[in-house]
Amino acid sequence: MKIAVIGAGYVGLVSAACFADFGHEVVCVDRDPRKLSLLEQGRIPIYELGLEPLVTANRQAGRLCFTDDLAQAVAAAEVVLLAVGTPTRATGDAADLAQLFSAAGEVARALRGFTVVVTKSTVPPGTAARLRATMAEARPVGDFEVASNPEFMREGSAVEDFTQPDRVVVGVASMRAENVLRQLYRPLTARNIPLLVTTCEAAEVIKYAANTFLATRIAFVNQLADFCERAGADVGDVTRGMGLDKRIGPAFLAPGPGFGGSCFPKDTRAMAHAAREVGQPFTIVESVIASNDTRKRQLVERVAAAVGGTLGGRRITVLGIAFKADTDDIRESSALTLIPDLQARGARLAVFDPVAMDNGRQLFEDVEWCEDAYAAATGADAVVVLTEWNLFRGLDLARLARVMRQPVLVDFRNLFLPEDALNAGLTYHSVGRPVVQAPDRPAAAVLPFRSGTV
């Protein structure tokens, strides 16, 4: 099939590369000259495991190309995928659909022959119907259908999630559109991967519902960890006991510094806004948002308590600024709250992240960017683990302790065993577990999180 993908961002680029790898002919459209120049040079503007070789192989095979000519790409396409950004509006919690409707208008004017126009962007319910009306106004005699096909890709494993998904969801308003999308996804359904066909509205809600539910699990386990600290229980034991229940499962039950990234924060806010718009407030989601925001704001208190309460003049090392491992994405990362808060308290910051530091340099000032974790930890009063990179799991804790001025490790990802930290001579603060005190050091203050209600 001939496919045009509008938008070479995270969703668009991964989708374009994977559909090309399925054997389709794909043209990916973007108006950013810098991004197009990088892609034409075979360079990927985002960090995503497995994406670069996939793009390179399919460009060389002639199945994938990049252009800024939307009209030409759409005119030849049987399917057009809209994968433009739908960020939170500058004011309020609603999704900003301006780019989407602008692209849809351009697509409508460029259509030639029957075409299925598919929203891959995350959008509130009712968007497909509005797009259909907008496109019909732009091209009254156009022969097209609008469908919804939300993506469920996790940053860091997007290629795997696209090629080996749990399910494919398509929302359609006609059998004609359904048949086209079944053909599009034939390489997956031939391997017995379920394809769920719904209305457009249901498909749009499924995406928001999935993300808000996962965000709710994260907020729940973070508050559970706080409770465990007060109750004297190890949250790891508790979540293992919960996860063995088949009705619950172990996924998204790891406590941490709060969720971030390009999806959960904006999608929870958009879901809450959409619910208010229809007169049915989603109070659980509202509480999840408040709880997550509170958690990020209180990270600085945990670090201050670990070093005795005063941050002025302290050298604090932050390991990891990406919102999660295996990505360079720092959007809504906890680092965006913690680093400025530490600086406002007078701390001096040394930072290392394996791939996200170029993005960090554009946002943070007066930060020492280091070549590795040990260089960042040299002379530190505390090392704070903020991202769960596997590289950090393998750190030599004894070496880390030796180069620090004060051997204090604040692990917001629970990457290490408390006994290993103790044997390395570290005072170890983690989440939902007792503090482990290094020998011959005075007891550090322990300040639990005080999260909002979920």
Query: 345-358: per-residue pLDDT in tens?
Result: 999 999 999 999 99
31 with 147, same domain: the answer is yes
In a domain? residue 442: no
pLDDT of residue 448: 47
The dihedrals phi and psi of 180, each to the nearest 5 degrees, come to -65, -45
Strands 382-385 and 64-67: unpaired
* 148 and 29 within one domain: yes
The answer on 280 and 343 residing in a single domain is: no
Domain boundary among 255, 289, 323: 289
Number of structural domains in the chain? 3
- The reply to whether the predicted model has a pTM over 0.85 is yes
Whichever domain contains 350, its CATH number is 3.40.50.720
Q: What is the pLDDT of residue 441?
A: 54
Residues designated as active site: 263
The total of other beta-carbon atoms located within 10 Å of residue 180's CB is 22
What band does 440 get if pLDDT is binned at 50, 70 and 90?
Answer: low
Residues 222 and 346 in one domain: no
Retrieve residue 283's tokens: 């109070």
Task: For 252-309, write each residue's pLDDT tens digit.
Answer: 999 999 999 989 999 999 999 999 999 999 999 999 999 999 999 999 999 999 999 9
Task: Read off the pLDDT of residues 192-241 as tens digits, 9 standing for 90 and up.
Answer: 999 999 999 999 999 999 999 999 999 999 999 999 999 999 999 999 99
84 belongs to a structural domain: yes
Residues 246 and 343 occupy one common structural domain? no
Task: Using the Cα atoms of residue 146, residue 152, residue 157 and residue 160 in order, give the sign of their dihedral.
Answer: negative
The yes-or-no verdict on residue 451 having pLDDT over 60 is: no
CB 204 within 8 A of CB 139: no
Residue in 56, 58, 50, 4 with CA at minimum distance from that of residue 29:
4
- Check whether residue 37 and residue 173 sit in a common domain: yes
Structural domain that includes position 138: 2-198
The phi, psi pair for 317, rounded to 5°, reads: -100, 130
> What does the chain come to in residues?
454
pLDDT band at 446 (very low <50, low <70, confident <90, very high): very low
